[in-house]
Structures are given as C-alpha cells and as structure tokens.
Amino acid sequence: MNFTFVVFFLRFKSKKDGAGGGGGSEGAKLLGGGEEEEPVRMPLLNYLCAFNDCSMKELQLLFHSVHARQRMVAHLQQHCRLHTAHLKPAERNIALHCHDLSVQNANRTFACGGYLELTVRQYFFAKHGLKLKHPYMPCMIEFGGGTHASYYPLELVNVVLKRAKQETVKQEEPYRRESGDVAPTKSMAMPERHCCRCCCRCANN
C-alpha cells in the first residue's frame, strides 16, 4: 500500500472523527469538568518511573519482566485515571483504560490489526504528524468490542492526579515542563514506590 496515500487518508479522516489510538476507539468519553478537585496531568512514563523508583532506561529494561509488567498493569487498572495527551486542544483528549501492555514496542506493533501495514509509530506520524521520542517502549492496549484493540504509545498517555484547588505547586528540584505538565508534589496522589534495582536480572526474564 502506498505510504503517501495512507498518510493523506488518515489525516483527512482524523479531521472528521477526532483522534484515537492505533486502531483507537472513537466512542470514548471526552474529558469533562465539574470536579471538586483540580486535575493535574502527569506523563505516564514519568509516573511509572516514580512508581518503580527507576530511570527511563531502567524502565525500558523492566518491561522485559513479566512480573513487573503485570504489577504495573494492575496498578494502572486499580488506582489511575488515564487520558490521551496528544490531542489539541486539550479538551479533545479522551479517557482510557489500560487492559494490557503490548509485547512488542511501538516500532514493531502493528496498528489497526495490521491491515494498513503501519506500525503504531508510523500510524501516529501518518495520522497526527507526531514523531515518537520513545518508540522502543511498549504500547498501552485498550480492548473494544470483539477482538478490536487500540494501541497507545505510553508517551502519549497522561495520568490524571488530584490536587486541591487552593494548593500551590512547590518544586523541590528542577523539573522539565512540557505540554503543561507539572512536577509531582507531596499533595498529589503519587504511587507507592517499588524498587526495580533488579532491572539487570529482569532483562533476562
């Protein structure tokens, strides 16, 4: 299939039906207001680094451990509100549910069941013009009806934390601000940390 034609088709289609993941569910709920607490968005990759008390490189190795992957998925399912992070304006971002993580990374996982012959990395570039910074991380999987599955690169997912409206964010150390994200503080509902210093051993599992 001609890649140029696929890029044109996906970008034209995205203007009509919004966003969605690699084969994404278009019926997900849009972000809504009216909550008593002010939501704070934190990139999922940063959240998982805090959860495992590890660096980004160590996190990539940790995904090779089946036990570590299952523990992270269980935590995201039970304790986290997840939303997409790549749509503009921000109000268009949709709620997600983590059913699983892909075995392969975004550079090897095929989007849309493979019928477009595009990987998840290529799909998001073709449809949204996004070049992934971490294509070698796995994707978050959200299952729809039947065998339908949507794949979202972890870097394009936010964890929505709760913070009191009157609270002032105080940074105790330098933190890179990108796309309006803020550094975690003690007032936010941060995960219990788990040591992952066994990442060298995990990489062999």
> How confident is the model over 106-156, as pLDDT tens digits?
999 999 888 788 999 999 999 999 999 999 999 999 998 778 899 999 999
Which residue ranges make up each domain of the chain? 38-163+187-205
Of the listed ranges 6-10, 159-163, 164-168, 201-205, the least confidently predicted one is 201-205
Count Cα atoms within 13 angstroms, Cβ side, for 93: 20
Q: Encoding tokens for residue 129?
A: 């013009």
* SS3 per residue for the chain: CCHHHHHHHHHHHHHHHCCCCECCCCCCCECCCCCCCEEEEEEHHHHHHHHHCCCHHHHHHHCCCHHHHHHHHHHHHHHCCEEECCCCCHHHCEEECCCEEEEEECCCCECHHHCCCCEHHHHHHHHHCCCCCCCCCEEEEEECCCCCEEEEEHHHEEEEEEECCCCCCCCCCCCCCCCCCCCCCCCCCCCCCCCCCCHHHHCCC
- pLDDT computed for residue 53 by the predictor: 97
- In the predicted structure, residue 40 carries a pLDDT above the cut 80: yes
- In the predicted structure, residue 31 carries a pLDDT above the cut 60: no
Better-scored residue on pLDDT, 90 or 178: 90
38-163+187-205: which CATH topology? paz domain (2.170.260)
Mean pLDDT (whole number) for 20-41: 56
- pLDDT computed for residue 199 by the predictor: 36
Cα(first)–Cα(last) distance of the chain, in Å? 37
Mean of pLDDT over the chain: 76
Please write the tens of the pLDDT for every residue from 67-90: 999 999 999 999 999 999 999 998
- pLDDT computed for residue 153 by the predictor: 98
Of the listed ranges 15-24, 144-153, 174-183, 194-203, the least confidently predicted one is 194-203
Exposure of 157 by Cβ count < 10 A (0-12 exposed, 13-18 middle, 19+ buried)?
Answer: buried
| pTM metric for this prediction | 0.66
